[in-house]
Structures are given as structure tokens and as C-alpha cells.
Chain A
Amino acid sequence: MTIISGVTCPVCGSFCDDIEVTIKNNVITDVKNACAIGAAKFLGYAKHRQTKPLIRKNGELVEASLDEAIRKSAQILADATYPILYGWSSTSCEATRVGLELAEEVGGVIDNTSTVCHGPSILSIQDIGISSCTLGQLRHRADLVFYWGSNPWSAHPRHLERYTTFSDGRFQKTAWRGYLSRLSATLTKKRLRRAVNLILRRDVSVPPETDRRLPYSVFQKKRKMIVIDVRKTRSAETADYFIQVKPNSDFELLQAFRMLVRDEELDVDEVAGVPVEVLEEVVDIMIGCELGILFFGLGLTMSEGKLRNVDAALSLVRDLNQRTKFLIMPMRGHFNVTGANVVFTWQTGYPYAVDFSHGYPRYNPGETSVVDILCRGESDAGLVIASDPVAHFPQRAAQNLVKNPLIAIDPEVTPTTLMADVVIPSAFVGIETEGTAYRMDHVPLPLKKIVNPPNTCLPDEEILRRILHQVHKLRRRPN
């Protein structure tokens, strides 16, 4: 039995690197420090994996040799006029580097999951810039934390305890005790109400909370957290204050904050369902903090306005820097989507939606992004790696992907592999093979190999290299 420490968790953008894993006979038997999702990954990853390469023959997927699968994949890509290579966010940077070379070789479009996630945020950053930092800067210094359109409790469970509200830094201490006392106060209120109901023997229904005033804790000199969302998520419940914004009205709310930061008057009584008095108080807190951070998620990028919402958020934080120190960071979902953007950018100059069909990199999201290409039916082949677009793309896009020859490289059985024409099983990166990945704040960390993969499952990097090698051979053949 061995215990391996300092393991990086290959799941979400928090990319925690303090996981401790116990291994017996090449099987992971215990995980410490991981959140529920991370633990599920380390303990359950092998349950629905596939270990045999498959090729679709006469409508059915049948087992094939790895060589056959590689050759068929290379053939599909080399024969295609406009293939798309998609995924990349859950594999290593080393694999992505090979993927870019392959996409360039076949003159295709290479895109990663930012295209359906924080792509709009990237577009905004390209217009406005971004005032950001690494997460430790917040652990040490941030006394005001915003989560806007983001629910770390569900998507980045350890975010608060490792980097923000419930962490300890050099200049700021954890707000855990404050949260516990608030929690016990709320529970006590609930218990008293129940007792009153029992005594009076009738149902005293609770009137909805009409007191929108900010609680005292938000004005104290300690770490505080404000959550802004369209519904009261679990993250909102842990916050010092929750602002419920009307769906699709984040832009108005952000612009209202900007006006108040610039000392302008608002003519209306409420914006996006929030009374202006509340907004004024929140802005006072923003200006009065020592260092504030605004985390934002898909609530901004996916609702109406998309990148315009992010424009407003980036501009708000930029404006706030005139009054105090303020930073902003998108909550990246996959553990290496940031890495995919980073590698794409250094090799091609562009972070996603890169089109090589002219022999040099071209970038125009809306034109060269895969969802658009698929909806217009322009691609004629696809390679999907470390991603599941058949499950997560809107139906029409996924249908067009499936219609054409499709290669899927994945360690697990997914809707995409079930609909593919060639399936190549790979090793789980960060568990069975090593590599490099980038945390949501651009800090690169090593992915470790802690168990051996089955010998039919090669690392993504190796699979792609073999396909590339085969494509080179095919292209040298006279046509």
C-alpha cells in the first residue's frame, strides 16, 4: 500500500494540488482532501471506462486493433476538406501541442470547450483587458469577495476554503467562524418559529424576506462575501449577502454599479429587481474595501448579452481600480481549459476557434467556432478528444457532428463515443498518465501518474502522435 501526496485533481478549474491518494495493487482505495466530485473521480473513474478500440462497421461498433483504429482515424482526417478537432480541456498541454500540429497538418479547425463556456469572456478580455491575479493574492489580501452568476458550491466546491472566504492568508483571516455564527442564528430562528407554531397550533407561514437591508457583518472589517445570482444557490446561502437579479438583467445591474462607482445618480428606483438604496450601499462597500475580487461564471456568459455582460463586469472592475484595488476572474470549469487556451495562444496567437484551412491560423468566433460550423453543416469530419459534445452541444450542432465521420478519443464511454465511427480508449490524464495543466488563474501545475493504465489505453499525447505520423505518411503518397 502506498500513499501519494501532492496529487493534482483533474476535475475542475480550482485544480487543487493537495490531494492524498492511497493505492493498493494499482487500485485507488482512498482519497483525502478532495471534494465530493474529485473523490468521485479518483474512486469511480474506472467504472464506465472502455479499454478496446472500436470501429463502426455496418452500423455497429466492433472491436478493432489499435493500429487499425489509428489508420482509420488518419484516413478520415486526411481525406476531409474541413475537419474539426474539438475538446482539449480535459487533457494535458503536451497532448494539445500535438493536436495543434495535427490540425495544422490537415488544414482543419481546432477548437476547445471555451467556445461553449467562457469564450465570450475571452472576447471581452480582448476588447477591454482584465485586472486579475493568482488565487493566492486573494487568499492573502481579499476582504470583499463577489461571486456573480457562479455557484462554487456546486461547480468548484473547495474554492472558498482554499482561496477565498474560508481561507487564511497573510493579511486576511478566514470568515468561517462568522459564517457559523450566522448559520446558528438562522437555525435558531427556524427552531423558534417551529416551536411557536407548535404552541399556537397553527401554521405561521413565513412571510417572504422583505428586509433587503445589508446585514451588519457586511460593513465589518473582515472577509465578506456577496453572491449575485438569479436564484438563491447554496453558495448564496453561505454569503453575507445575496442579491437576486432578474434573469437576463445582469448587464443593467453591472452598468448601474458602474454609474454609482463614478458618483453618478440613478434616476430609477430599482435596477434588475434590486432597489437602488441597496445598490448604493453595495458600491460603498466596494469602494471602501482593501482588495475586492469579482468571480463570475456562466450566468454572465450564457444569458442574454453574453459577452456584453462580461464587458460590463470587466469595465466595472477596471473603473473600481481608480478608487481601490479590485480584481476579476472567470471561474473556469474544466481543470485544463485554461491550459488549452494558453497552448493555443502561444502556438497560433489565438485562444480557441482556430482555423488552419488557409495554411495559417485564422480566428473569428461566430465563423470559425465549432457550434457555428456545425450548425451551418460546413465540416465534413470530426475528432473529439477529452470532451463530450454529443451530450453537451445543442441538439442541432451535435446532430451534424454525428452525421459525418467522427473519431472519439476518450477513456470513458460517453454519448460521443457511442455515436462515433472510431473510438480510441485513452489513459486518464492526471491518474494514469502525467502532463501539465493550468489552474483557472493561469498557474501551471504537474499532473501525476499514480496508477498504471491498461496496456490498450495509451496517453492522449501518444495516440495523437501516431495519428499525426500516419497522416504524414498518407500525404506523401501521390494522389
Chain B
Amino acid sequence: MDIAVRDGKIVERVNEKKAERIDASGMIVMPGGVDIHCHIAGAEVNSGRLLRPEDHFRDVEAKTAVTRSGVGHSIPSTFTTGYRYARMGYTTIMNPSMPPLEARHTHEELDDTPMLDKATYPLLGDWWFVLEYLRDNRIEECAAHIAWMMNAIKGYAIKIVNPGGLEAWGYGGNVQNIDDPVPYFNITPREIIRGLCKVNRLLNMPHTIHVHTNNLGKPGNYVTALETMKCVEDLAKGDRPVIHITHCQFSAFKGDDWRTMGSGAEEIANYVNQHSHVTIDMGQVIFTDTTTMTADGPFQYRLYQLSGNKWVNHDVETETSAGIVPFRYKRKSPVHATQWSIGLELALLIKDPWRIYLTTDHPNGGPFTAYPRIISWLMSQTAREKTIKKIAKRARRNSLLPSIKREYSFYEVATVTRAGQARALGLSWKGHLGVGADADIAIYNVNPELVDPSKKYKTVRRAFQRAAYTIKGGEVVAKNGEILKSVYGKTFWVNVNSSLSMDVGADMKRRFREYWTVEYENYPIPESFLTASAPIVVKAEI
């Protein structure tokens, strides 16, 4: 079958005599890749870049006639980030952590990231306004304020990280489980998650709440992940998801301490298989030197204590925090190897590929350039076995992978790397090749009719590393790994229309100076600040 493209969209047909032809016979054609969670822009990412000149020295890209120069292995500079995604056939990415006060920074960097359409999620789970309104059970007012915030800083979804824990970290503390009250605010993480889940529905947001669970990275935390998913079970309507657990691997540990740490992937997969209100992404670990960066201040401090590596902390007034620690995942470490196994176990045990997505929580688990390697692990048990042979004995013994025969098909790979992600994000014009979709197309040089991915996993990996063609908005922007044309995509954000917006504005103005050290009028970002603003209008129920 043929695909017709005109004016940046996929259409029924075009005048074949006048059209440019691309012969994709013998190759596999997919929609452009969609990455639902990758830290590539903003304060946290840039602090990581600054922290690690050593990460940049060994990986440079010289300027060409078409491209700007750049650096970076785990935290590439902005231009390099765009080019590297484009080379892999990716065309849409989501930056998952934006501190609202520093939103301008995120948008400036996104504007300097070429080749991709993008959006970003503001961190709202510890915002004082949220904590206060939800504590008093004033859901509608909370929703109205979140609508104001989303519009003001051009955000796409409600991001929640270690709810309550970041506020406790303001004084160096943390929360221990989802019913542990937040100091000074008298609210529990459970109430925050449930409250924001209700808010999300009231606002008709295209994506669900996007949650990084409490107790991330702690042995035994799979219990917290299950409780988090359970706590909004009753809020589900029909079989549409209401919560997304991100980089689930980091929240799927069994055990009481590092010595007894094991995989909780089976329990989590069972739950996800039986409950359709949850989506997750992998957060796969790669054995490499990378950089961890999250808004989870207390977790990052603990990681510094464990590793002794350099540590950056950045608490943001009234809102959130962040931490950065370089980290190397080693094959011979039983803990790291178990983590590696957990990510794959999750992807292989969860039956519905529309509800589990391929990510590394870039760069936390590893750089996004490792995605093709993950694809080869998913498609080939041989590939998995080869790696398992080299990992720590204890992890090998306990891993479920040797008993899992499942191998992903190309359709499943397409789902977990683009179609499923687009659907979870509510981007109905992305992630598919039907008429009306954006003409974001990736053509990979591997023939699904001739190549057996189970045996020829290296061929598969190479094919996904360098797309034969990357087409963005109907233009061929990359070919066989070479960037042909530098283009800049759009920035999506959700423009929430609510009847309460006027009152909220006045309320915010009155209280602003009590909460922040900037003026009310300097906080919102004008739409003109974004080079290519693409608002998605939603009508709220309030």
C-alpha cells in the first residue's frame, strides 16, 4: 500500500505525476517515534549538562552546512538532542519535568531543540496551592488554579513526583508511604494523587496524571507502586486510563534492603493486566555511564549517599525540587542487573502493548540513543540471553527473563514506541499513518518479511539506530543517519477554558507576593514567547 502526503499531512491521494516518490519497498514504514518521557530541556537538564563536562568531551558533533555543533553522551546539548532523535526516526517528544517558576527556561531550550514536536509537563504535585486546596477538599478551586497554571506556563499534563515528599524535602525530610502526612500541610500523598486525578478529569486534559511514585528506588517499593495504582481505581470511568506510572522499573523493587533486593515486576504486571485504568512506561536501565536527574530531591540525595558521586540539588520555592547525580549501571552489580531485568520483565509480562511504553526515563536509565538496543531485547530472546550471560550471578538466578519466551512483533514495537504513546497523550493526529495524521513518518531498513528479528536482532538494532528516512511534517529531514534539513517543530500546550478563570486571576494576583519572590505579572509566559505555539483547547467541566 502507498501513503500519500501533502502539506505536511497524510491524505487520501496525491497527483502521482507531480509528487516526489520514496521507494520504501523491502523496508518497514512506521509513524514517527513518540517519546512520552525524556528529560531534554529545562533547569534540571541544563544543570546536568553543566555538571558533566566529562560527559561531553568524549562525544562531539562538528558543525555542518545544515547542522549546528554540539556535544553530549547522556545529556546532549539541545541541537544534538534534536538531530539524534531525528536520526532514529523520532518526531515527537515530551519533556516530563518543568518547574513552573522556571518554565521560561524549559521553553527556551525546547525552542532550540530542532527536528521535533514537543510539549512539557509542569510539576504540580507539591505546589502549595494544590496542597492547601486538596487538604480542604476544594477540588473545583484546585482545578481552577491548575487551569490557570497550565495556561500561564504553557504546560501539557499534570506531573506528580514523590507527592508530598518534595515539600518535606524543603526542610530535608521525605514521606515514607502514601498515607504519611506532609509536615506543615496535613495532607497525605494519597489525597494529593486522588485530588489531582479528579482535577484532571474535571479539566478534560488530553493525558492522565503522570506519576513518579513515592519511595522511588527503595527496596520493597513495589508495594507503594501498587498502592498508588489502587488508590485511584474507583475514579476510573469505563476502561479509559486515569493514571500513568512513569519509569515503573524504578518503582518495582522487592526486598527489604539492597542485599535482598529483587524484582516486583510480576506483581505489577499482574495488576496492570487486570486493571485497565493504568498505563506505565518502562524506565529501562542500560549498562552505561549516565546521569540521573529527577524532581525527587530526597531520592537524589540518597543516591549521592549510595554512590559518593557529585550531587546537585535545586529546591524551587513554593513548588518543587530537583536533584542530579551521575551514575554508572554495572553488569556485575546484582542490584543494577536486577533493575535491567525488571524493565524488560515489565514489558514482556504486560500483555497489552497499548498500555506499556518504551522509555529509559532518559537520561536516568540511559541515553535515548539506546532505544534500538531495547527494541532488540524485546524482539529476541537470544539477544536477552546474550546479555543475561554477562550479568551478576545473583541477578541471573533470580531473573524471570530466562523463563519468558515472548518476543515482540514489529507491530508491538510500533505500538510501544509510537502508537501507544500518542494515544496515551491524546495526540490523535500522531502515532499512526491514517488519513489526517501529521506526516511524521519513519522508514527503517529492515524487511519484516525476510528478516527474523529473533535471530537477526543486530540487523534490527542497526535499522532502528539509523532510520533510512525520517519525514517530519511531510519533508525528508534525515536519510540514513544524515540530517538533510534542519526544521523546527511545534510546542503543544493545553489551553484550558474554564468559567472560573477570571476569579482565579484576581485571587492569584492578591496572594502572589506571599508565595513567590517574583511579581504576578512576570510569571505567566506570553504565547509569543514560544516560537511555534500550538495550543490544544479543552473545555473544562468547571
Contacts and interface: CB of A to CB of B under 8 A. Distances in A.
A445 interface: yes
Interface stretch (B186-194, B216-224, B309-317): B309-317
Interface stretch (A46-54, A203-211, A339-347): A339-347
A347 B77 contact: yes
B172 A140 contact: no
Contact of A347 (B53, B102, B112): B112
Contacts of A291: 170-172
A118 interface: no
- Mostly, the A contact residues are mixed
Contacts of B522: 6, 8, 17, 445-446
Interface stretch (A36-44, A124-132, A216-224, A420-428): A124-132
Nearest to B109: A346
Contacts of A443: 101-102, 517-518
Interface in B492-542: 514-522
B69 A445 contact: no
A325 B171 contact: yes
A142 B275 CA distance: 45
A133 interface: yes
A361 interface: yes
B70 A442 contact: no
Interface in A42-82: none
Interface residues of B, number: 58
A8 B49 CA distance: 28
B51 interface: yes
Contacts of B79: 347
Interface string B37-78: 000010100110111110010001111000011111001111
A361 B50 contact: no
Contacts of A261: none
B104 interface: yes
Contact of A348 (B43, B62, B71, B312): B71
A349 interface: yes
Contact of A318 (B76, B311, B315): B311
A17 B50 contact: no
A438 B519 CA distance: 15
A8 B43 CA distance: 21
B51 A126 contact: yes
Contacts of B517: 134-136, 139, 162-163, 443
A334 interface: no
B56 A290 contact: no
Nearest to A122: B50
Interface stretch (A352-360, A372-380, A393-401, A460-468): A352-360
Given A133-B316, A345-B50, A351-B50, A17 B62 contact: no
Contacts of A171: 184
B32 to A, nearest CB: 24
A111 interface: no
Contacts of B314: 132-134, 442
Contact of A131 (B72, B311, B516): B311
A137 B313 contact: no
B61 A140 contact: no
A360 B171 contact: no
A134 B519 contact: no
Nearest to A168: B514
B272 interface: no
Interface in B308-326: 310-318, 321, 324-325
A356 to B, nearest CB: 7
B105 interface: yes
B71 A360 contact: yes
A358 B312 contact: no
A93 interface: yes
Nearest to B312: A129
Size band of the A side of the interface? 35 or more
A125 B51 contact: yes
B222 to A, nearest CB: 28
A349 B58 CA distance: 12
Contacts of B77: 345-349, 361
Contact of A136 (B50, B70, B109, B516): B516
A395 B72 CA distance: 37
Contacts of B109: 346
Given A18-B519, A137-B317, A139-B317, A130 B312 contact: yes
Given A325-B171, A346-B78, A126 B71 contact: no
Contacts of B329: none
Interface in A282-328: 290-291, 318, 321, 324-325, 327
A360 B53 contact: no
A346 B310 contact: no
Contact of B62 (A127, A321, A327, A358): A358
A50 to B, nearest CB: 31
Contact of B50 (A18, A126, A446): A126
Interface string A102-125: 001000000000000000001001
A444 interface: yes
B289 to A, nearest CB: 16
B108 interface: yes
A258 interface: no
B271 interface: no
A29 interface: no
Given A137-B315, A163-B517, A348-B77, A104 B51 contact: no
23 contacts: A5-B521, A6-B520, A93-B108, A126-B52, A128-B311, A129-B311, A135-B517, A140-B318, A171-B184, A327-B315, A346-B46, A346-B108, A347-B68, A348-B69, A360-B70, A360-B71, A361-B70, A361-B77, A436-B108, A442-B43, A442-B102, A443-B101, A443-B518
**In the A-B complex, the 3 residue pairs with the closest CB atoms:** A136-B317, A325-B172, A129-B310
Given A132-B312, A133-B321, A359-B63, 8 more contacts: A18-B519, A126-B53, A136-B318, A325-B170, A346-B49, A349-B71, A363-B53, A443-B101
Interface of B: 41, 43, 46-47, 49-53, 56, 60-63, 68-72, 75-79, 101-102, 104-105, 108-109, 112, 170-172, 184, 301, 304, 310-318, 321, 324-325, 514-522
